[in-house]
A = this chain, B = another copy of it.
């Protein structure tokens, strides 16, 4: 892997684990096995490198979600597949965790990929729920946009619960609860 590649990948790991505020250029360099001069040759500084890392992580998250959401099956089945897909629960969401990072939120540039990714996910899910409504799969009492928000929130909040206890159990429970609530709305 090239040096810029290694720097980006190292930054992705550290941002995931320690957040933007908790990640220093020095730590990135050491993790990447690159010197100071090398890092500042390829990137203008910490924000520049972080932006590259965040963009890639966001892209990857979209691709991972799309792989499940764009699959076969009914709306409910695709939502269930998304909720039940394998996750590194205790590490949390590498995109969602950035919303708790004050410096990321304060920077228009760094926040943009975060906003866009979570909004994309919300809308993608809303589209699927709407499909289910249109085809009579769900009872019409539901609002697609609201349900999509609930789904994303349950996942993001599930990470919080899991990390607080140090066990994925609460995440799984939250997901099962949501699926149980959603199930009886199925008409087909």
Contact = CB atoms under 8 A, between A and B. Distances in A.
Interface string A94-109: 0011011111010000
Main secondary structure on A side of the interface with B:
helix
Nearest to A116: B164
A8 interface: no
Contact of A181 (B21, B147, B159, B170): B147
Contacts of A157: 96, 152-160
Contact of A141 (B149, B170, B180): B180
A164 to B, nearest CB: 5
A105 to B, nearest CB: 6
A163 interface: yes
A128 interface: no
Contact of A173 (B18, B146, B158, B163): B146
B102 A163 contact: no
Nearest to A97: B100
A184 B186 CA distance: 12
Given A96-B160, A122-B170, A150 B165 contact: no
Given A100-B100, A150-B181, 20 more contacts: A92-B100, A96-B157, A115-B165, A118-B161, A122-B161, A122-B170, A139-B184, A142-B180, A146-B173, A147-B180, A149-B158, A149-B171, A149-B173, A149-B177, A152-B157, A153-B156, A153-B157, A156-B160, A181-B185, A184-B184
24 contacts: A17-B102, A21-B21, A22-B103, A92-B99, A99-B159, A100-B163, A111-B164, A115-B165, A118-B165, A139-B184, A141-B183, A142-B181, A146-B177, A147-B177, A148-B177, A149-B161, A150-B175, A152-B174, A153-B174, A154-B154, A155-B157, A156-B160, A157-B160, A181-B181
